[in-house]
Amino acid sequence: MKKFGFGIVGCGAISNMHAGAVNAIESADLVACTDVNEKSLTEFSKKYVIEAYGDFNTMLADKRIDAVCICTPSGLHKRFCIEAAKAGKHIVVEKPMALTTEDCDEIIKACDENGVKLEVISQNRFKKSFRYVKTLVDEGKLGRIVSADIYMKYYRSPEYYASSNWKGTWAMDGGGALMNQGIHGVDILLFIMGKVKSVFGYTRTLVRDIEVEDTASAVVEFENGALGVIQGTTSVAPGYPRKMEINGDKGSITLIEGDITVWDIEGLDKPDFKAAAGRSHNDPMAFNIEGHVLQITDLIESIENGTEPFVSHREGRKPIELITAIYDSSRTGKRIEL
Ligand SMILES: NC(=O)c1ccc[n+]([C@@H]2O[C@H](COP(=O)([O-])OP(=O)(O)OC[C@H]3O[C@@H](n4cnc5c(N)ncnc54)[C@H](O)[C@@H]3O)[C@@H](O)[C@H]2O)c1
């Protein structure tokens, strides 16, 4: 069996999920890592018994490496994606794929020109409950969808922002409650509902001492005619799990995180999906590696089969387009057509 060699750039909090996931996959082999912080680099390379490289391009030259996991601050994703693509390496990039649609387009072009696959981490898309809800919506089991809403009322402490030199900044985080924490929910809403026609949003920095928004509310009109609400904040105590409501003229479903809590569909039994209990509404790392394992496996399969990864670069661009449109709307006071 061919083993796919992986290198990791950025040895911070999320990189452990990637290392754990690569190590859990039989056809994957964790080979090397790199980080500008020497202490993080040394500790990480010792922990996983892998090669430590002083810079990204030297790591890319390692012939054992087929793919890289990009786990740096979000504002560096574009640069590392493009450098990896030009070196012919496949890519797993953390969310958000990049900070603007223009940056996403540059990444897509570089990957396509160099024949490499890219998987954007959006682990909720691999949960059975969300996939099932999408199938039901697509098959019309809820009738005509009238409203589709997502509420992400989270808590991130002042210390969470103070302890990082990049979180809460425009240059490296690219946004706040929506671009960093809320992007997971925005992505699954788009996954289930499809394209958005227009959006009107308010974003504010109400409580935290950060550049970007700590609170946002937006109203969207989907191309299928449904209306929806997107709410994201990192500033409410104690913070609540993400809630999604999908209501049609024949039935309704509510999900708290990945669990179906309201099931009002006549003639269809509620499925018994067991989702791992996440607490990321008040602890950014309170989730398990299952999603990362599934996503990295999906990348490997897409390389082997010559197919598109499930969350490809084209998919990863979609939440960025909507979130940046909400920012534009708030800035200009105008409705934005997508
Ligand atoms: N999928 C999820 O649920 C999830 C959860 C947390 C974070 N993330 C994403 O993962 C990314 C990293 O977040 P984190 O919380 O691990 O951040 P972090 O600050 O803990 O780690 C970032 C690491 O990148 C390193 N770094 C910075 N500049 C670098 C450079 N030029 N070259 C090499 N290394 C560099 C830092 O030294 C640090 O070790 C972000 O994009 C974030 O949005 C995703």
| Nearest atom, ligand 1, residue 70 CA | 11
Task: Give tens-digit pLDDT for 240-252.
Answer: 999 999 999 999 9
What is the rounded distance in angstroms from the CA atom of residue 93 to the CA atom of residue 260? 29
Q: Please, how many CA atoms are within 13 Å of residue 302, restricted to the half-sphere of its CB?
A: 22
CA 177 / ligand 1 centre spacing (Å): 17
Domains of the chain by residue range: 4-122+290-310, 124-283+319-337
Q: Which atom of ligand 1 is nearest to the CA of 291?
A: 1
**271-302 pLDDT, tens digit each:** 988 766 666 777 777 678 999 999 999 999 99
Mean pLDDT of the chain: 96
**CA 326, CA 73: separation in Å to the nearest integer?**
22
Pick the atom of ligand 1 nearest to 77's CA.
41
**By mean pLDDT, which of 30-34, 116-120, 126-130 is the weakest?**
126-130
d(CA 133, CA 124): 12
- The Cα–Cα gap between 97 and 82 comes to 12
The pLDDT, as a whole number, for residue 272 is 85
Both tokens assigned to 138: 């697509």
What are the pocket residues of ligand 1 if the criterion is a CB atom closer than 6 Å to any ligand atom?
9-14, 34-37, 40, 71-74, 76, 94-95, 121, 123, 164, 180, 284
Please determine, looking at this structure, whether the domain spanning 4-122+290-310 carries the CATH number 3.40.50.720.
Answer: yes
Pairing assessment for the beta strands 215-222 and 196-204 based on DSSP bridges: antiparallel
Q: What pLDDT is recorded for position 277? A: 61
Second-level CATH architecture of 124-283+319-337: 2-Layer Sandwich (3.30)
Burial of residue 274 (number of CB atoms within 10 Å: 0-12, 13-18, 19+): exposed
